[in-house]
Structure 1
């Protein structure tokens, strides 16, 4: 069954088409990733899914309801955690959860939520004194107090260390196993590939690819990734004509060429023919980063 359905959704701001004819279906009980660079229309689309903004055209159905017309019925069934959130200073973790729980007529037991998020031993600590990962777990807990079936998480792990990031991943996987539906935005290609059952990439207001991570990798970035530095002028358009090459781009000061088969040897031969001298080279298996690069022509970094 579908948790979210978008049909021909558009959102215009004057002459700007922020969302330009989006068709999207998100099934229940899965982690769905929505990725896109700044200005892609990602936030505008999320606002429409959460009833914050009304589409210029098209239809949006969330849990079988209209997010605008049926907001009072839908709101208790949704939970949201934003990338940046703040609380009243000096509140302890328990006080923060108890305060938010008082807003709901049927809130979950605070101690139960603390235990679920691994925060029991931090219950009497002030939120502002917690580590970045612990604070994010507090904000996830706040989103879970009213026991929502649909969760929106925005850049949950953008400012936490690797250990905390993996702990949060385990929390999200557990929430999905409980039967909740999660819509996740992230700038981390590793996170998207590791967590999401399905992913949609939005660019210039349109969904340009959608599917399971493994399927998208096979379709758009299959094979390997050749990273190299070269002295001399490189004709990148000529490299695109090399047999087996699927995309050419940049990652920092590295030239990045993705492709299949024996493309790497052919690329090296082509560079030699161009008179470019390769000074550094490495090979990597294709990842979701390559999918994003192939489809948008750029890499995406945290904080964009």
Structure 2
């Protein structure tokens, strides 16, 4: 299972435009003041001087960050707001610019603490004698790029008597990119209890997806999942969880190793019911899976490029 980066954009002209979207469908409101300047906002102003136009906007339900712009005199401050209960990294860049400069120079990166905000760049006119405008995009990725994962033993993430690995390290079907190369797909019937393989904090969940299929463009990167952050900055990902009630924990909750966190399912890009498990780290705006050791009641789990077992 892949995790997509999420894009936030803002266009600034003579007035600040703030897109303060929540998850899913959102609305932006547009109106013109008495000086003829067009404004955009995430709520209807008190006593607007003109008719307010409503602009519907769709954002991904699992968007992890928001780009926020504040007017500071003759310059603009670009902030990143982290929606997750764990650190993220963001990269801000111009998609279009005219007579504007960023400090630091764009593209600029920043690490944002859990549920926190960070100033990514200050944007100002390169030539104060004339106007400027620009368009920004911001990419965001879970995890701290300075994380140093420890070599630890993970528990089996499923509560069932027998285990079968349908796709191991470097599997040709879907474990052929950086974030999934060292992932493991455990065969599991829908509704099998999913357990935390290691203690940590629930950093991110997706629980509203109910579709599955082999169309990578349509379903790739979309599935119900739980992401758990560990104290060394590494993250475990439990993917393709059951639709509706497949996630049994909440964001920000601390869980112990072996605690039930969900139910296995068949959501997203998948050939059938299974649990996708990976240990991931952020390597600087690049999410990568890493090899791991796992133990079960019968001893170490043997993982290969295809099937495996205890």
User: Which of the pair is proportionally richer in helix?
Assistant: 1
Q: TM-score, normalised by structure 1?
A: 0.24
User: Which of the pair is proportionally richer in strand?
Assistant: 2
